[in-house]
Amino acid sequence: MTIADLSRRTLLQAGAALLASTALPTFARAQNAPSGGRLIVAADSEPKNLNPAIVASNGVFFVASKVVEPLAEASFEGKDGLSPRLATSWEGSADGKSVTFKLREGVKWHDGKPFTSADVAFSALSIWKPLQNLGRLVFANLEAVDTPDETTAVFRFSKPTPLQLIRNALPVVSSVVPKHVYEGTDIGANPANVKLVGTGPFKFTEYKPGEYYRLTRNEDYWAEGEPKLDEVIFRVLPDRAGAGAALEAEEIQLAAFSAVPLTDLDRISKVPGIKVISKGYEALTYQLVVEINHRRKELADLKVRQAIAHAIDRKFVVDTIFLGYAAASTGPVPKNAPEFYDADVPTYDFDIAKANALLDEAGYKKGANGTRFSLKLRPAPYFNETKQFGDYLRQALAAVGIDAQLVNADSAAHQKAVYTDHDFDLAVAPPVFRGDPAISTTILVKSGTPAGVPFSNQGGYANKELDDIIAKAAETVDTAARTDLYRQFQKLVAADLPLINVAEWGFITVARDTVLNVSNNPRWAVSNWADTALQS
């Protein structure tokens, strides 16, 4: 029976049959793990564009990273926190104007064509720089990619570009796609953006909308003995409560990205044969922030922003909304990014009296009804936690006389309202820290970003001192000096509050004990799973 013939029931029965086995330790090493089997995984979304070279987002990587590979992946043990993939080494010039990549030999695309440096040059110049949401920042000054031979790619920059940034960005921005498939086409509309062609351990075989994605073993994969699995099936389960039930019923074997609601974790962790794992998201730290529209007169006043920060009980947020699976933030860089994190920044303790005093000082006295002014509050709809925090924030602001009127919308409407139309006063957002402040953090506070760019500063905030620090860091080649600039960046953001950082969290993976090699790198859920195996 082919996958096209499988009904939802027979697909689940096949997955359950694979689970009739004795559980082994989750972290057994791949070289000792068996080969074969079908891994069935919960997926809560279906991205319209699955090409990670264009859309560098976790929802895309979750499926696509098994098919399309980057130059390097994050690692717990590797040099500079990286593990080679399509590149085997990288070296920057002293002036910061070039980076030389040595590429892996003998790699084939899934259609049998050879992988060469021409594919890397094409991906960088035709996709990452002009089209990718994050690459357009990292490679802003990339002007050429030389290919002296098939296994060498030399990136040349018009301005000094820190090797520290390039290294940190590689897992996220460097997904390589085949030149022969994309050249001369409308890249954004190319069918290969849905039916992927890559070099990874799995081939994209089938997508049935609303039901599943099917990936199958790449028999010609460059890593000997990998992949371990015959198939990976991503079963579409938009209802998060359904993922936990499916795991317990042995209909699926793995749910990542907290697909099982936090409220269910304590109970499900006691179910025989199931593991709850927090490891494997260290390079994917999500941050709960309050975005601020500085065009609003009241919010342009620092005292008002400080008052809002003091009105938020971060401990309550961590303990009640995140059930302890989070930590309070001190600023725009999370604690688990020790390369850059600085704890010596201004902080805002929960203090209702101080918040009220600051609002009084700012001239916004309470009216007869106890209200100082009203605001439009838009919580991002992506996670239960962001929506729950929106409800909490409305209550917290009411306690200091600010009437926050909640406006809920679906993802598309929310993004348009906040990032294009600027139709908000406060918004709750979950940006991701991706290993380096220049990749996806500075854009949250830097001025001058055009309207319509999601997850960026669309609140009209402008601070020349902060912009100058960001610009200088972007061209500082010396690692120590660049790191110091980002410590200054954190202090200034925490002091001036262009936005308010509330909490930071990683996700949870829940898996059957029969799934081996889970969470063994800092981006595991969005890595290639070449060594993931099933005990049969």
Which tokens hold the place of 220?
């010609």
Q: What local confidence, expressed as pLDDT, does residue 4 receive?
A: 33
Q: What local confidence, expressed as pLDDT, does residue 44 receive?
A: 86
CA 365 – CA 328 distance, rounded (Å): 30
Rounding to the nearest 10 degrees, give the CA dihedral for residues 419, 423, 426, 431: -10
CA 218 to chain centroid, in Å, comes to 26
Q: What local confidence, expressed as pLDDT, does residue 21 receive?
A: 27
Which tokens hold the place of 467?
């912009």
Place of tokens 């109970």: 267
Please report the domains of the chain, with CATH numbers, ordered by start residue.
3-40+200-277+508-534 (3.40.190.10), 72-182 (3.90.76.10), 285-505 (3.10.105.10)
Q: What local confidence, expressed as pLDDT, does residue 23 receive?
A: 29
Q: What local confidence, expressed as pLDDT, does residue 454 receive?
A: 85
Residue 204 β-bridge partners: 215
Q: What local confidence, expressed as pLDDT, does residue 376 receive?
A: 98
Q: What local confidence, expressed as pLDDT, does residue 104 receive?
A: 98
How distant, in Å, are the alpha carbons of 450, 513, 525 from that of 508?
35, 15, 10
CB 265 within 8 A of CB 276: yes
Nearby residues of 275 by Cβ (< 8 Å), 6 or more positions away: 26, 269, 510, 511, 512, 513, 518
CA 102 – CA 71 distance, rounded (Å): 10
Q: What local confidence, expressed as pLDDT, does residue 384 receive?
A: 86
Q: What local confidence, expressed as pLDDT, does residue 477 receive?
A: 95
Of 45, 78, 174, 199, which is closest to residue 122 (Cα–Cα)?
Answer: 174
Sign, CA torsion 508/513/516/520: positive
Give, to the nearest 10 degrees, the angle between helix 479-496 and helix 163-173.
70
What pLDDT, in 10s, does the model give residues 391-419?
999 999 999 999 999 999 998 899 999 99
CB 94 within 8 A of CB 162: no
Mean pLDDT by 10 residues, the chain (536 residues): 32 31 33 84 91 93 98 92 97 97 98 98 97 90 98 97 96 97 97 97 97 97 97 91 91 94 91 94 94 98 98 98 95 94 97 98 97 98 92 98 96 93 97 92 94 92 98 95 98 98 95 96 97 92
What pLDDT, in 10s, does the model give residues 43-80?
988 988 999 999 998 999 999 999 999 999 999 998 88
Ranges of beta strands (E only) in 293-372 are 327-328
> Hey, is 15 helix, strand or coil?
helix
Q: What local confidence, expressed as pLDDT, does residue 32 receive?
A: 66
The one-letter code for the residue type at 517 is N
